[in-house]
């Protein structure tokens, strides 16, 4: 069975701090995809990144970076120099031979 664990339920940081959101997954599929989505207070799901299981290169996009480590089944997400607009619930998700399985989400609050 596929499973995604986001152990951090809520994180609160002061603006400009760096913050890392953890994601650990379980799957028996050899080919799978990992995702991060952002859900701001308005409720929509905003796609941030998709990474396939064969690509362990870390990725940076502006203030966002992702660290994929197959050896520890983790796909962590770091926001550098956080801003108030980063306040949202962040979901990690996994897709193999089944539709998307989401973690429970981490609520990030960035305080000015």
68 within 8 A of 55, measured Cβ to Cβ: yes
Size of the site for another protein (CB under 8 A): 21
54 within 8 A of 31, measured Cβ to Cβ: yes
CA distance 105 to 58: 21
Bridge partners for 50 per DSSP: 35
Q: Which of 25, 37, 68, 90 binds another protein (CB under 8 A)?
A: 37
Site for another protein contains 43 (CB under 8 A): yes
CA distance 43 to 17: 25
- Looking at 14-22, 40-48, 55-63, 77-85, which segment touches another protein (CB under 8 A)? 40-48
Give me the numbers of helices (H) and strands (E) for the chain, helices first please.
0, 12
Q: Which of 36, 76, 86, 103 binds another protein (CB under 8 A)?
A: 103
- Site mask for another protein (CB under 8 A), range 71-100, x = bound: --------------------x-x-x-xxxx
User: Residue numbers of the site for another protein (CB under 8 A)?
Assistant: 33, 35, 37, 42-45, 47, 50, 91, 93, 95, 97-105
């Amino acid at each position: 069975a596929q499973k995604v664990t986001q152990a951090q339920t809520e994180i609160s940081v002061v603006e400009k701090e760096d913050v890392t959101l953890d994601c650990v997954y379980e799957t028996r599929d050899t080919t799978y995809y990992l995702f991060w989505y952002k859900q701001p207070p308005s409720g929509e799901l905003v796609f941030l990144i998709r990474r396939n299981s064969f690509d362990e290169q870390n990725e940076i996009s502006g203030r966002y970076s992702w660290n994929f480590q197959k050896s520890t089944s983790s796909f962590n997400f770091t926001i550098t120099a956080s801003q108030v607009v980063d306040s949202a619930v962040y979901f990690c998700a996994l897709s193999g031979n089944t539709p998307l399985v989401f973690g429970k989400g981490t609520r990030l609050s960035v305080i000015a």
